[in-house]
Amino acid sequence: MNGLIWHHTIMQPLAYLYNAKPTHTGDDIYTVTEESGLVVQTIYDDGGNDTLDASRMSTPVISSI
């Protein structure tokens, strides 16, 4: 997989420069399903105890946190 991974060291300065407001500050569940096809997704979450749920996937899932 080629491409840029939006690591927190990139996102934090951008959020500061553009005065981004905190988003998703509570506990959230992000679900990945087969229905969405090939998924490349960036999740921007500012806090809480979050869950990435890929339990319904029958294909391998690669996550970079």
For the chain, the domains span 25-65
User: Which one, of 42, 49, 51, 46, lies nearest residue 24 by Cα?
Assistant: 46
Most confident of 7-16, 17-26, 54-63: 54-63
Q: Are 53 and 32 in contact (CB under 8 A)?
A: yes
pLDDT at 59 > cutoff 60: yes
pLDDT at 8: 63
